[in-house]
């Protein structure tokens, strides 16, 4: 269970309370603000402050004692109180990074260690596939081994990366996340390694990169397969030697970091096609973790749907939805190309659009029901001949199922469906007319 002790957000100077509140508002942490330097005597998991004046820094020492001496996170530069347990974060820290820092410092403050044997916060499932992933994550968490997490988009690769960091000896230091696919190639080097003032047009001041910000902790390189070949060379050196140069700098910076990377691409194939460096691939792929797609862990779908509905109800105050048995059975039969992310988005749609307290089969999108029909018709044809059977009707029914499946797969493009069935288009058209099949619908016997 997540640590939900109160987080006291102390605001002073140039950063107003709404900014820090906004950064933490979507987290699962309980937040309380202190617009001035007064606070009642309570215990808090962590205190967050930013842009302190000299007087505020002095007053903060007394507050920390009254709050049970929790860890202090200071965002940005400026005066700090005379206090041992301080963690500084860069002013450009993201909301996710700030929330993660609050969680790990709060957890680490509990008897000097983690609560429970392995913190799996946010990871829902009991299937064999997810248990296998968690088993690997638990073993690798206590080491500094480089981890490569692979899997389709939406399978939860970042959640596993966060779990590994959260349960590692580096949990008191930051986990810095960077999406290599979301940043243009010409800017990614600066984001990773930082730059000096004047290194390029617009570089008006020196700026540390993500590798520097992650010093002592973990850097998570998401969508590593999208990195350009030129930058792959520089990343390889940074990983091997734990040192790099800022863009425009002449001196090297040494860091102590752990590397976790993730991709939805087949890097082994990319190596064969010379799109990804082989030496970098083997450097990243020390401990491989393969995330199973949701269609391979269908037994987790009811657990995930329940988790997301409960989460939404708490966040929005809306009624928590239930699922009818036929709706849930149809959801379990669906292939979920968007995986867990698609399921979460669908649950949110239900929470907003479904009027009643129960999601029924009629509330599901049309393609869910079509896929469920395909799933039912996709198995081997079996008829219990001991009960008697009409051979010609059974064969015709099986033909109808195959044709419908090909039509649905090809979005009713008859030429493509005919190709899938290895028959002429004219023959397929004749069968469609004879069977009276209509676009997107099946006969009453299906």
- Structural domain boundaries of the chain? 6-108, 128-290, 295-377, 385-435
User: What pLDDT band is residue 387 in, cutting at 50, 70 and 90?
Assistant: low
Condensed to tens digits (0 to 9), the pLDDT of residues 111-143 reads: 333 334 678 888 998 888 898 999 899 989 989
Contact between 290 and 280 (Cβ < 8 Å): no
Residue 266: phi and psi, rounded to 5, are -85, 95
Q: Give the lowest-confidence range in 144-148, 234-238, 421-425, 441-445.
A: 441-445
Q: According to the model, what pLDDT value does residue 404 have? A: 82
Cα–Cα distance, 361 to 50 (Å, whole number): 50
Classify residue 269 by burial, with Cβ atoms within 10 Å: 0-12, 13-18, 19+.
exposed
Q: What is the pLDDT of residue 154?
A: 93
Residue the block writes with tokens 């690997």: 136
- The CA-atom distances, in angstroms, between 45 and each of 31, 33, 42, 117 are 10, 14, 10, 20
The CATH label, of 3.40.50.300, 1.10.10.10, 1.10.760.10, 3.90.380.10, for the domain at 128-290 is: 3.40.50.300
pLDDT tens-digit map of 293-342: 999 999 999 999 999 998 888 888 888 889 999 899 899 888 898 999 99
> Two tokens at 128?
């064999």
Structure tokens at 208: 């540390």
Q: How far is CA 398 from CA 383, 404, 435, in A?
A: 11, 10, 12
More confident residue, 96 or 420: 420
In the numeric block, the tokens 């995330």 are attached to 291
- This prediction has a pTM of 0.60
- CATH, domain range 385-435: 1.10.10
- What string of H, E and C letters represents the secondary structure of 126-150? CCHHHHHHHHHHHHHHCCCCCEEEE
Task: Give CA–CA dist 53/76, Å, rounded.
Answer: 12
Fold match between 128-290 and 385-435? no
Structure confidence at residue 23 as a pLDDT band (50, 70, 90): confident
Q: How many residues does the chain have?
A: 446
If DSSP codes are grouped into helix, strand and coil, which group holds residue 425? helix
Helix (H, G, I), strand (E, B) or coil at 201: coil
Q: What is the rounded CA–CA span in Å between residue 309 and residue 121?
A: 17
Q: What percent of the chain has pLDDT over 90?
A: 31
- Residue 4's pLDDT band (cuts 50, 70, 90): very low
Residue 27 has pLDDT above 80, yes or no: no
pLDDT of residue 118: 79
Q: Which strands make up the sheet holding 72-75, listed edge to edge?
A: 30-34, 6-11, 46-50, 72-75, 86-89
> What is d(CA 341, CA 154) in angstroms, rounded to the nearest whole number?
5
Phi then psi dihedrals of residue 182, to 5 deg: -95, -5
Model confidence band, residue 446 (pLDDT cutoffs 50, 70, 90): very low
Least-confidence region, from 8-22, 105-119, 162-176, 312-326: 105-119
Percentage of residues in the chain with pLDDT exceeding 70? 80
What average pLDDT does the structure give for the chain?
80
What mean pLDDT do residues 70-91 have? 74
For position 26, what pLDDT does the model report?
Answer: 74
CATH, range 295-377: 1.10.8.60
Which CATH code is given to the segment(s) 6-108?
Answer: 3.40.50.2300
Distance CA 64, CA 47 (A): 8
Which residues have CB under 8 Å from 174's CB, separation 6+? 89, 97, 100, 101, 213, 214, 216, 217, 218
Q: In the prediction, which pLDDT does 6 show?
A: 55
Which residues are within 8 A (CB) of 311 and not within 5 positions of it... i.e. 6 or more apart? Answer: none
The answer, yes or no, to whether residue 170 has pLDDT greater than 90, is: yes
Average the pLDDT over each of 48-62, 329-343, 365-379 and give the range with the smallest value.
365-379
């Amino acid at each position: 269970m997540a640590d939900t002790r109160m987080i006291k957000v102390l605001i002073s100077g140039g950063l107003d309370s709404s900014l820090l509140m906004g950064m933490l508002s979507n987290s699962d942490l309980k937040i309380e603000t202190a617009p001035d330097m007064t606070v009642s005597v309570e215990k808090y998991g962590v205190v967050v402050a930013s842009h302190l004046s000299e007087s505020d820094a002095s007053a903060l020492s007394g507050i920390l004692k009254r709050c049970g001496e929790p860890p202090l996170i200071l965002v940005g530069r400026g005066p700090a109180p005379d206090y041992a347990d301080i963690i500084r974060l860069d002013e450009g820290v993201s909301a996710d990074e700030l929330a993660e820092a609050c969680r790990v410092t709060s957890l680490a403050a509990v008897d000097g260690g983690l609560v429970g044997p392995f913190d799996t916060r946010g990871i829902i499932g009991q299937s064999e596939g997810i248990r296998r992933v968690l088993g690997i994550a638990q073993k690798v968490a206590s080491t500094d081994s480089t981890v490569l997490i692979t899997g389709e988009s939406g399978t939860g690769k970042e959640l596993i990366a966060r779990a590994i960091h959260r349960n590692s000896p580096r949990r008191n230091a930051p986990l810095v996340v960077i999406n290599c696919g979301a940043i243009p190639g010409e800017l990614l080097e600066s984001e990773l390694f930082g730059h000096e003032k004047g290194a390029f047009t617009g570089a008006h001041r020196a700026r540390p990169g993500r590798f520097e910000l992650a010093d002592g902790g973990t850097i998570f390189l998401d969508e590593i397969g999208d990195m350009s070949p030129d930058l792959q060379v520089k990343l390889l050196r940074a990983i091997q030697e734990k040192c790099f140069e800022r863009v425009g700098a002449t001196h090297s910076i040494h860091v102590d970091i752990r590397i976790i990377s993730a991709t939805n691409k087949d890097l082994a194939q990319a190596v064969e096609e010379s799109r990804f460096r082989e030496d970098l691939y083997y450097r990243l792929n020390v401990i491989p973790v393969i995330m199973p797609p949701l269609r391979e862990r269908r037994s987790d779908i009811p657990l995930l749907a329940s988790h997301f509905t409960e989460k939404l109800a708490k966040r929005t105050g809306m009624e928590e939805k239930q699922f009818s048995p036929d709706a849930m059975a149809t959801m379990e039969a669906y292939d979920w190309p968007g995986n867990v992310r698609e399921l979460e988005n669908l649950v949110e749609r239900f929470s907003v659009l479904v009027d009643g307290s129960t999601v029924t089969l009629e509330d599901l999108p049309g393609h869910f029901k079509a896929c469920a029909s395909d799933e039912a018709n996709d198995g081997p044809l079996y008829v219990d001949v001991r009960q008697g059977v009409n051979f010609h009707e059974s064969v015709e029914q099986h033909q109808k199922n195959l044709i419908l499946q090909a039509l649905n797969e090809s979005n009713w493009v008859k030429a493509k469906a005919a190709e899938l069935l290895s028959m002429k288009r004219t023959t397929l058209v004749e069968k469609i007319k004879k069977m009276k099949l209509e676009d997107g619908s099946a006969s009453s016997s299906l």
